[in-house]
Structure 1
Amino acid sequence: MILFLAARPVTAPPVRPAPRRRRARFRPLARLRPFAPYRRIFAVPGTRAFTAANLLARLPMGMLSISAVLMIAGSRGSYALAGAVTATGLAATALAGPWTARLIDRYGQSRIAVPATALATLGSLSLLLCVHYGAPDWTLFASYAATATTPNTGGMSRARWAHLFRDDPAARHTANSFEQAADELCFLLGPVLATLLCTTLFPEAGTAVGAALLLTGVLLFAAQRRTEPPVAPRTAGHAPTRSPLRLPGLPPLLLTFLCTGAIFGSLEVVTLAYADAHGIRSTGGALLALQAAGSGAAGLLYGLLRPAARPGRRFLVCTAAMAALMLLPLLAASTGSPAALAVALLAAGMATAPTMVTGMGLVQSRTPPGQLNEGMTLAVTALLGGIAAGSAGGGWAVEHLAGPGAAYGVPAAAAALALTVTLLTARRRPDRP
């Protein structure tokens, strides 16, 4: 038997091509791999819930201001009064916002955000009632100033991502990119929804719906306790923590954010004036939506890149790209073609989100974990201050320069100023990624 088996010819086993067929079968799924970073961060339990709630709470940020303008101007017949009331609220937010964020860092998001939002909601409802029943003008200022306690919902969401991925720079970069795209989406949809509600239902509808969404979203967000970052422990006799404004490297970033906010504020005013001057006033919002859409798409794509080993250098590159692309609307407006301006605004928006994402990452790296909400709120405050200054500068340029087309030099100048500040204050030592 052994001799018989030994005499049998030995043949190689047949080759099975099954593995190749399997790889070919799953090739379409491989195309989705570029979006794996986003799938990975949302695979963490609780992230989808707090993100959805935060988006609901963040949408009114793009609604409440324009709703107040439409409501006050429609009932009192004065855009000057409406603008003064909203400017007062913006100034009050710049003062109260960092203090609210400091309390959130000290006592936790759920303990502070809910009562702060409730007070802000009461301010919005008070404004609505004062407008509806014809109360004196000073009551409008007082009511809208009470909304300054609105917490920085985007900052609280970024703080949760920073806590969940404190040891994963790549995941933090992807999360910050998503948050920036979410900001663009809210500021894109918010004004459209507010205008629709105020013009089709009744003038107070935008403020009422915005206040309801804000309170509901914050309540749902605060209920997600398992993803809430813990409060930094404080021992007895612990010295008071100094303000993030005194931390090295943060004030130059805030100055750059101030210049970036001036880009947004002036671009909005000048674009609306350009559309009005060319007889296409109804499409002014659509032109601004193209800029926000370009920024949001660029933010999502930027999140697929690896985080920079030297974020300070990448921030310099991003601000340089933003300064270069902001020249496109100025050149397109000189041609007198709204279509060319639309393309230019879409392209110009593609540099703002990467700049904001990298800048927010630098704010996180230069701010202690126990002061993260305060640091990011200071960045948002700088943006708001820049938006206010940019709006005023853009309005002045529209009236005193040679037409709205030339006024596009204001956002271009603000972008150049942001680049200059970044160049002059660039840090030589690399930042922690």
Structure 2
Amino acid sequence: MLAPYRRLFSAKGSVGFTSTGFLARLALSMSGVGTVVMVAAIRDSYALAGAVGGASLATTLLTVPLLGRLVDRYGQSRVAVPAAIWSALMSAALVACLSLDAPTWTLFATSILSATAPNVGGMARARWTEIYDGDADSMHVANSFEQVLDEVCFILGPLLAVALATGVAPEAGRIAPLVLTLVGTILFSAQRSTEPPVQPADPSTTRSPLRNRGLQVMMLVFLFTGSLFGSLEMATVAFTESLGHGSSAGLVLSLQAIGSAVSGMLFGMLTLRGTSTGRFLAGVGGMALLMLPLNLAVGMWSLVPLMFIAGMATSPTMITGMGLVMELIPRSQINEGMTLAVTSLLGGIALGSTVAGWSVERFGADSAYVLPSSAALLALLVGAAGQFWLRREVAAQSAQAEPTSAAKTAEVAAA
């Protein structure tokens, strides 16, 4: 049953970069929660905690694409390690400012300056692309595995951060991801045998990925998908509190991630059928369909299974979506393209959380799940409307890649 995954890790060096990269990815899922809990506990202000965490997230929306572009231009290890060291130093400065009761502005300054943690998940996907170039089946399994790792980090990260902050010390929930970011990134970058070489820019593809119409469609779909995630979190917190089970919100949300992880593992074992654009649209459609029943929840016993079911289409959508982004972008811009997609998700999460908070205040918790359902439907509408551009850009990129593939084949034959 797990044969596809065993074959995936038969590649030399794959276990090394996957295991070391997991540490840095886990840190990324801990940092936001760790910051909020730490600031709230020490300064006794959730408003300040949210603002400091939000400032870091807003800065990440700018730094992540820039780091992706630098990685494409100079290589993973040359960019990721200095970025991780700087992020760790500024994170340590944030902790120190809190401990020393420094002025509030220093919290914002250090939080903003710490937002340089590299997107190790994107770099790991780039390594799989280099290893299994042209092997669609293996890349499907690799993308599935990567998405499952993302879900596992989403489940474990916040739980670990809160446990450390409440069980050890408020600062522990932020110090741990600081260390994991630094150690994980350095160990990941040390796996030089699997690091993709810097791809020379093709003069015919020097345009910015932002001008790619297909990527524009994907970024808009991911914006609404992120809005779904952000509003779903806020809606679940509000709904469980209205039922008198507010402490169970984290557990209920983890069920959505577990459902997504399970479906991701199973999806990776399936044989690909149809076109990549068609599979992505089917995934978004499934996500929209499975979100709708959440509006029927009337209590915890109905919410729990519906939340698990709602997560079942998330991984297939993200797996096909990230795979499609890879098809849309030239190899010389792959890190920048993937980080732009991630940035859209992060922006959507922030937007969805903000709008959902306003919606709950105005209309109450009973209608809280209308917003994530609406975001899923909007993602589906954008995906359907953008099919023409997606198919056109995939075909154009495929045509540009064919001469390169033919040249590689000729080199192998000559050797």
TM-score (normalizing by structure 1)? 0.89
- Which secondary structure state, in structure 1, belongs to the residue aligned with residue 198 of structure 2? coil
Q: Aligned residue for 1:391?
A: 353
Q: Is the 2:86–2:114 Cα contact (8 Å) retained in structure 1?
A: yes
Verify the 8 A CA contact 1:328 1:345 in the aligned structure 2. no
* Aligned-partner Cα distance in 1 for 2:201–2:262: 41
Distance 2:273 2:133 in 1: 16
1:294 counterpart (234, 259, 264): 259
8 Å CA contact 2:231, 2:355 repeated in 1: yes
1:405, distance to aligned residue in structure 2 (A): 2.6
> Does 2:244 align with 1:279?
yes
Instruction: Determine the C-alpha separation between the residues in 2 that align with 1:240 and 1:290.
Output: 42
Alignment of 1:81-230 (within 5 A): 81-230=48-197
> Over aligned residue pairs, what C-alpha RMSD do you find?
1.5
1:178-220 CA-to-partner distances (Å, cap 9, x unmatched) read 0001000001000000000000111000111110011111111
* Cα separation, 1, equivalents of 2:347 and 2:137: 31
Matches of 2:130 and 2:325, distance apart in 1:
14
Superposition deviation, residue 248 in structure 1: 3.1
User: Which runs of no fewer than 5 residues in structure 2 stay unpaired?
Assistant: 399-415
Residue 401 of structure 2 aligns with which residue? none
Return the alpha-carbon distance in structure 2 between the equivalents of residues 301 and 201 of structure 1: 37
Name the SS of the counterpart of 2:145 in structure 1: helix
Q: Among 261, 276, 280, which residue is 2:226 paired with?
A: 261
Equivalents in 2 of 1:242, 1:278: separation in Å? 52
Q: Give the one of 308, 312, 321 matched to 2:277.
A: 312
Aligned to 1:27: none
Match of 1:327 in 2: 292
Question: Is residue 340 of structure 2 the alignment partner of residue 366 of structure 1?
Answer: no
1:305 positional shift: 1.3
Write out the 4+ residue segments of structure 1 that deviate beyond 4 Å after TM superposition: none
Distance 1:234 1:407, change over 3 A: closer
The answer to whether the Cα contact below 8 Å between 1:312 and 1:427 also exists between their aligned partners in 2 is no
Percent identity of equivalent pairs: 49
Partner of 2:388: 427
**Contact 2:223–2:344 (CA under 8 A) maintained in structure 1:** yes
Q: Which amino acid letter does the alignment assign opposite residue 250 of structure 2?
A: G
Paired with 1:164 and 1:309, the residues of 2 have a C-alpha distance of: 24
Per the TM alignment, residue 150 of structure 1 is displaced from its structure 2 partner at its CA by 1.1
Give the 3 Å change call, closer, same or farther, for CA 36–282 of structure 1 in structure 2.
same
CA 1:68 to 1:312, structure 2 compared with 1: closer, same or farther past 3 Å? same
What residue ranges of structure 1 are gaps of 5+ in the alignment?
1-33
Match of 1:89, SS? helix
Which stretch shows the higher mean deviation, 192-201 or 323-332?
Answer: 323-332
1:286-329 CA-partner distances (Å, limit 9, x unpaired): 00000000001111111111234411111111111111111111
Q: Superposed, which structure 2 residues align to 1:38-77 within 5 Å?
A: 38-77=5-44
Distance between the aligned counterparts of 1:304 and 1:427, measured in 2?
29
Structure 2 residue 312 is matched with structure 1 residue 353: no
Greater C-alpha radius of gyration = 1
1:214-257 C-alpha deviation (Å, 9 max, x unpaired): 1111111000000011101359xx69932111123110000000
Offset, 1:347:
0.2
- 2:294 and 2:87 map into 1 onto residues whose CA distance is 37
**Deviation at 1:124?**
0.9
Secondary structure at the counterpart of residue 149 of structure 1: coil
The aligned length equals 394
Normalized against structure 2, the TM-score is what? 0.92
8 A Cα contact 1:61 1:187, kept in partner: no
In the alignment, is residue 375 of structure 1 matched against residue 342 of structure 2? no
Q: Which has a greater percent of helix?
A: 2
